[in-house]
Chain A
Amino acid sequence: MKKNRLIKVAIFMLLQLLFSLWSFGQPSMIRGTVTDENGAPLVGVNVVIQGTTIGTTTDVNGEYQIEAGAESTLTFSFVGYLSESIVVGNQTEINITLLPDIMQLQDVVVVGYGTQRRETMTGSISKVGGEEITKSPSPNVTTSLAGRLPGLVVNQRDGWPGREFLDIVIRGNATMDSDPDYEPGTADDPNDPFDVINPNEPLVVIDGVPRDNLSRLNPEDIESITVLKDASAAIYGARGANGVILVTTKQGSQGAPAFNFSYSYAINKPTKIPDMMDAATFAEVYNEAEWYRQGRPDMSTFVPFFTDEAIQKYRDGSDPVLYPNTDWPGEILKDHSYLQRVNLQAKGGSENTRYLLSFGMTDQDGNLKNNPTHYKQYNVRARVDVDLTKALTVGANINAIFNDRTYAAQLVDFVGILQSNPTLVAVYPNGLIAPGRFRNNPLLIDRSGYDKTKDYPLYSTFTATYNVPFVKGLALDASYNYDLRNEFQKLFRTPLYYHEYNVVTGEYDRMVTDNPVELTDTYRKWTTSLFNFRVSYKKTIAQFHNVSAMLGTEQQRWTFSYAQAYRKNFVSAAIPEIDAGSTDPENKENRGSAAETAYNNYFGRVNYDFKRKYLLEFVFRYDGSQVFPEGKRYGFFPGVSAGWRLSEEEFLANLPFISELKLRGSYGELGNDRVPQWQYLQAFQFGNNYVFGGRDAPGIFSSTMPNPDITWEVSKKSDFGLVAELWDGLFGVDLTVFKEKRSNILWRRSLSVSHVFGFPALPDENIGKVDNHGFELVLNHRNTVGDLVYSVIANTSFARSEIIFMDEVPPAEPYQTETGHPFGSDLYYKSDGIFNTQEELNSYPHASGTQVGDIKIVDLNNDGVIDAADRYRYNNSPIPEYVFGLTANFQYKGFDLTLFFQGQTNAYSYDFTLTEIGQQDLDNNCVYRATNRWTVNNQEGATMPRADGWIPGATDFFLYDETFARLKNAELGYSLPGSILSKVKLKNVRVFANGTNLLTWAKEITWKDPELRSGDFTEYPPLRIINFGVNVEF
């Protein structure tokens, strides 16, 4: 028996092993075939005698045989299908059809260094299957996770193809960001990998290795993604405090080769482009602002910047050369751009070998005209597992990503598009391209060179599993991983030309910029190597006591290096290579550096359960991080959890509607080390050069004081949960409440240390404290009505943190303290409408510069003066406290429909781009700001302050509720019926259409995409994607 171990996850073998230990004899042999809803044989279905671990799996023909007594019940389970249980009775042949489980409530969940059965799981763990991720046409895997995993918050803050900016946190921000920029310190260096550290980032583990390329994985390769949120992450010890995202990729399965081909073509465009003012409105608003700036002179003496005749010409378009009315976004944005993907997957295996080969291609175009932006990605994966002997299995999983990103040499941001002055020409009527604002017309962008990056990471994993034959239940696992990422960037800038209408001669002058040809070649290399070795043992004692234990060690080393060469003043722009540049020393520059980190740790897990009813788990990690000095490097991080499956109790046996009822709780201590390296060392960097006699002299400086005692940040997490499934899935609930206390947070002192000491940036010290609490709730319902199978899963999560200690300088007023609020909550002036009359203005305290039509700022401390002390601490940040997700699946005969809604609330963001309008720098602004602005003739109806606009600082007037709900994904598919398929000799053909960001409802933020980065609306918005595709299996 058990020759076919068709399993999805390598470590599942250990579980299988457990089954074999628990055998006891049974009389009769049962045979049968397991098929799917189309009658096709299902390979690898687990057939287990209920209440035991005796079991087998179906072979390539879907057939099985098992010895079982008449009184026993056979349970058939298969990943992705609903389990079935049949009482054997006097049958000797049991054939069964499994229905697909569109709920994806799978039996086995990947946890840290192993797998667990969902019903005996005690941790707070969420999971999403790969099929759900592929329902989103987004080329970025991370964006597809938004709303799908309770507790995981993903916000897409901008939409640049290939470099989308994503905020990703688990259970909100639970620690504080002590980025060196926060207090006096060093600046951002894009080449310094330690410089961009978000201490709230969760750990991402892909196939057992901490890896950073989640977003760029091929979604078709993903088997499942699980998120460890509570003490269960303690097995990742020092890096588990922010939660852990575990990604498992697919592997081969025994059987005839199966091919899966899919192609999809999508059109996309930004979700929302703000409506900007036209030229005439822009001119009017500017004149108003100018009039205010000049102190509201008498109209008879006021000379407006734009004359009435000019405004008329802007409006009627009679002179498009001198008086254009340019709709910049309309001129620059394409109607739509494309995104196409091809995937080809082959898997199968013989008795001793299983393989999976996967190839994926993504090709994405930019959304701007004349812009070289292009993103192309190839993903290749080869996975082979070989049973060398009965006991020894080795495997390799090689994944290569070829990532070609092309952008313009000069970044065109949406600032250049949206804020460009509409009274400037974009394209002259004769088709010549004008300079635009600051000579930065985005239409010229393909004339000034390019920025090409070839980013080629290679991920490799080699595994070996040895089931020690002479000790039943003992297994050894080892893996070696080596990742090598090479990136080559070529930034080539050339002079560009444009045409400018000459008001004197009436000609279109051809202008060429006089900047030199410049080339910067940068080569970056990252490597990660990781050894992992684990011993595991499983045993059942006295029939009911199930014990398993695992002990492991892991070492990781990470390196980074870069070299950069620069030349300018090329003789010609024909050859964009360093050697073609000027050899004059003044025209050359090069840079380079290297860095390294390492981890060394030991970890383990012990599970015990009694009759699968009372569950207990203990995990630990003894973690060593090189970030800390000797003596402070190692930390011990334990986690313990317990569960009680009430549904297994006798006293609930007479409540048959309860299919599953479980209480669980956990407590753990985890660590966090996401702070800059070498803080324990007084170290000096090269830089701060100075000039003597016209020549550069090298300098060195230290940017921080050392902290010889720096060590781990500690997170104490407690979780309590309830899982119930009633009426066989008609209703299910999964509720988790959690509390977390962070202490030892690495934070810089600000109160205690006078700047007169003259210290450079203070080091992080283990002084901060933050508390965090919240809940996660999942409700689900699934049902079958005739041929309609449907399910609805709703999830919501809430997390709120509170700073307990941060060595805060006592602010001028008590309502300004940051302590007691979530990290990231900011200070705002309180607004109270708009000053409508001079009398009102005079009778109310106001900051100098305030005019009638400006925002009325509340004098919070009643001192008669509006100053910085009148700002109050707002309790919310742009990170949402509540996030929602709702998935509805429908299946009717060959049709399937998935709708996925996502939303958030209790997040607030400030939009400073709205504060002023009609300023002297001639920035355009959106219609939202211009409409209903205060003017002398529109006072009562004004909802926005006057043109120009003056505020003493950020006010809550421009603080907006980020609440939104959107139809994040929808997918409609149709699978051809089996009768047709058998004729064309295909296993499955499915055509589908799906989309991302299809509908959005936003509570307050209506002029831009509500998810955009806090601060302004001039970011690349996320994309709305509409996609059509076909999937063929044969």
Chain B
Amino acid sequence: MKTIKTIKRIIPVLLILYFISCNQNILDFEPEDRIAESAVWSDANLINAYHTDLYNAIPHGFYIHMYSKYTDEAYNSAPCCCAELFALNTYSPGNIASMGGVTTDDNWCTNFFYYWDRGYNYIRKVNVFLEKMEEIDVVLEDKKQLVAEAKFLRAFIYFELIKRFGGVPIVSQAYGLGDIESVTFKRNTFDECVAFIEQDLTETMPDLPDQYPSTDANYGRATADACQALLSRTLLYAASPLFNPSNDQQKWQKAADAAEALLDKGYDLYPDYQELFELSQGDAQDEVIFSRGFTTSNGHQAPMHNFNRRYEAYGGWWGSNGPSQNLVDDYDMTNGEPPFLSDGTVNPASGYDPQNPFQDRDPRFDATIVHDETVFRGDTYEMWISEDGSQWGYDSYKNTGDNPRTNYVLKKFMPTEGPFNWQTQFTIQWPHFRLAEIYLNYAEAKFELGDEATAREYISLVRARVGMPALPETVTGEDLRTRIYNERRIEMAFENQRMFDVRRWKIAIDVENRPIRTLDIYLDLSTGVKRYEEVVLLDKSGTYEEKMNLFPISSDEIQRNPELTQTPGW
């Protein structure tokens, strides 16, 4: 009896033992929130998804800081948060990596300025893709096109690298962790990199459609025209003084040819310059050759980051992208004359009145910049301060630190209609290439080749869109070069071009040492008369050195690569 009782008692214990022993595989399971690599390369949809990410390689301008505040287009009243190194050109091999990063998240503010890590990260992604495309068994109908798009993106990445660093190591295969010990990298020359880009693009073009209509579902994908536009910009850079010290005319010829190939491809300047920068992908237009699109679930907040304190748009970054007087002064008068002469005095032929500075300016001024008395979205902007300092307009920097100190607010890329608040994901597209640039590329190359008439013709085409008079034939030689440079500055303001243009033209040593200025506006409350007084916001003199035309490589990276040479001068 006792034994039976004991056995009965032991049963529950045995049951528990059994329960445990039947669960020996408790550690074997697959992740629920991610996909194993083996699954990726055997599924057409996942291959497409992998390929889609490759497009993220190219930086657009709608992160927190636009590059404009790192040059003479804007004044940065938020001297912090990744932007401090460029205020007074204090960047160096020791700190430049802080302007970089790999993912959008660990680079939430720098706009991939130090693009090295991000660039090579995506080059590897492209190389992995290209290698896998040669191995896989899955039938992909558009495989050729996917490969071509990937090569276009690789070329674009290399261009982004060389315009910053000069020649960089060319990596055309995907390495694994096992290669760490055996592989080191050294720089290829700038020309080798250009040749590599050219080769990628040339190989690619036949496999791509020339273009998609801007309303097409594929608009935004790489096209043969996008390849050609990238080629045009790359060859223009390659011919520019920074990279072409001997002024090799062959290089200018190649640049001119590359631009010329796009002149008759059916693109047209969009009639309304301001509206052009409010368009989203899907809107009809014939000017933008290649753009980065956004949607309401994958949008940007550029308007919020850059506007002043209106419509809840208190500047998250203190309206830190306030257009500078340096830029404003470079808008011509409607009569076609620049308001200032090269010595900085008022050009008498222009009719510019320093006490009425916003009158009769190139229409692109009003399309790009909100200034005192601008009417935008039905509101009149007021940047004045009363003469006795006791009152100020709603948009004055005195009212709140969220109004740009410069008394100018960026208008380009800002929506004239619709919601304007932090909860909105904005969909305005970022133009990577547009026809106006091709005209400017063409004009610049033709000028350097001595064909001043063609140069004037294409500059004038760009000006004609906004109703500006053509460049008179009297503008020649160095004057014409100045006008070409200036046209590019005006037409492509805030498109992240200026910063690199001044470097490739080798005028940065002059431009970047100039003070950042603005106008303070004083209102006499009794008479209603306004007075404009120029002030210096940032004295940059002596901070820019010739070596800064190319960026340094992070000193950590040099340490990791004994054969990698630092950028000259650093």
Contact = CB atoms under 8 A, between A and B. Distances in A.
Interface of A: 181, 184-188, 294-295, 303, 305, 307, 309-310, 322, 389, 391-392, 421, 437-439, 464, 466, 468-470, 476, 478, 480, 493, 503, 513-516, 518, 531, 533, 553, 555, 557, 568, 586, 589, 593-596, 598-600, 624-626, 630, 633, 677-678, 681-686, 688-703, 705, 707, 749-762, 809-810, 812, 847-849, 867-869, 920-922, 952
Contacts of B177: 705, 707, 759, 762
Interface centre among B6, B183, B220, B564 (most CB of A within 10 A): B220
A538 to B, nearest CB: 18
Given A439-B314, A626-B29, A752-B560, A700 B105 contact: no
B53 A922 contact: no
Contact of A698 (B29, B52, B94, B292): B52
Interface stretch (B234-242, B351-359, B419-427): B419-427
B312 A439 contact: yes
B33 A593 contact: yes
A701 B53 contact: yes
B296 A586 contact: yes
Contacts of A593: 32-33
A515 B543 CA distance: 43
A697 B559 contact: no
A691 B94 contact: no
B345 interface: no
Given A759-B124, A848-B542, 9 more contacts: A187-B103, A513-B421, A533-B17, A593-B33, A598-B26, A624-B27, A699-B53, A755-B117, A810-B559
A760 B176 CA distance: 11
B162 to A, nearest CB: 14
B31 A683 contact: yes
Given A469-B6, A516-B423, A557-B26, A694 B16 contact: no
Given A295-B539, A691-B298, A596 B32 contact: yes
The 5 nearest A-B residue pairs measured at CB: A187-B105, A758-B124, A868-B94, A694-B282, A691-B293
Given A184-B102, A464-B16, A514-B421, A693 B281 contact: yes
Interface in B302-320: 311-312, 314, 318
Interface centre among A598, A686, A812, A920 (most CB of B within 10 A): A920
19 contacts: A184-B117, A187-B105, A310-B389, A464-B16, A531-B19, A531-B20, A596-B29, A599-B27, A684-B35, A684-B46, A691-B220, A694-B282, A695-B295, A701-B50, A703-B103, A756-B557, A756-B561, A757-B179, A952-B90
B394 to A, nearest CB: 8
A596 B555 CA distance: 41
A920 B318 contact: yes
Contact of A758 (B95, B120, B314, B422): B120
Nearest to B538: A293
A956 B14 CA distance: 65
B102 A438 contact: no
A438 B402 contact: yes
B341 interface: no
B53 A690 contact: yes
Interface string B145-184: 0000000000000000000000001010001110111011
Interface in B418-445: 419-423, 427
Interface centre among A513, A677, A700 (most CB of B within 10 A): A700
Contacts of B220: 690-694
Interface centre among B46, B217, B390 (most CB of A within 10 A): B390
B138 interface: no
A304 to B, nearest CB: 8
Contacts of B560: 751-755, 809
B485 to A, nearest CB: 28
Contacts of A480: 16
Interface in B201-233: 212, 215-221
Contacts of A759: 121, 124, 175, 177
Contacts of A760: 102, 121
A468 B13 CA distance: 11
B106 interface: yes
A388 to B, nearest CB: 9
Given A184-B106, A694-B280, A696-B295, A681 B420 contact: no
Given A755-B116, A759-B177, A692 B293 contact: yes
A921 B78 contact: yes
A538 B437 CA distance: 88
Interface in B510-539: 535-536, 539
B49 A700 contact: yes
A568 B116 CA distance: 39
Contacts of B388: 307
B219 A756 contact: no
Contact of A812 (B88, B311, B555): B555
A920 B405 CA distance: 9
A694 B125 contact: no
Contact of B37 (A682, A694, A757): A682
A684 B50 contact: yes
A696 B298 contact: yes
B419 A514 contact: yes
B4 to A, nearest CB: 13
A754 B557 contact: yes
B490 to A, nearest CB: 28
A241 B297 CA distance: 44
A568 B298 CA distance: 16
B52 A699 contact: yes
B139 interface: no
Nearest to B45: A698
A848 B35 contact: no
B35 A921 contact: no
Interface string B401-417: 11001000000000000
A99 to B, nearest CB: 42
Contacts of B281: 691-694
A922 B121 contact: no
Nearest to B281: A694
B500 interface: no
B458 interface: no
Interface centre among A684, A686, A698, A752 (most CB of B within 10 A): A684
A277 to B, nearest CB: 16
A691 B292 contact: yes
Contacts of B400: 437-438, 922
Contact of A761 (B49, B102, B217, B559): B102
A630 B177 CA distance: 20
A187 B20 contact: no
Interface in B84-135: 88, 90, 92, 94-95, 101-103, 105-106, 116-117, 120-125, 127
Nearest to B121: A758
Contacts of B261: none
B20 A694 contact: no
B32 A514 contact: no
B295 A515 contact: no
B90 A750 contact: no
A480 B15 CA distance: 13
Given A681-B31, A755-B117, A921 B423 contact: no
A1002 to B, nearest CB: 29
A757 B175 contact: yes
B13 A921 contact: no
Contacts of B169: 756
A234 B488 CA distance: 70
Contacts of A596: 29, 32
Interface in B264-295: 280-282, 292-295
A594 B33 contact: yes
Contacts of A515: 312, 421-423
Interface string B2-21: 00001001101100110110
B324 interface: no
B556 interface: yes
A848 B402 contact: no
Nearest to B16: A478
Nearest to A592: B33
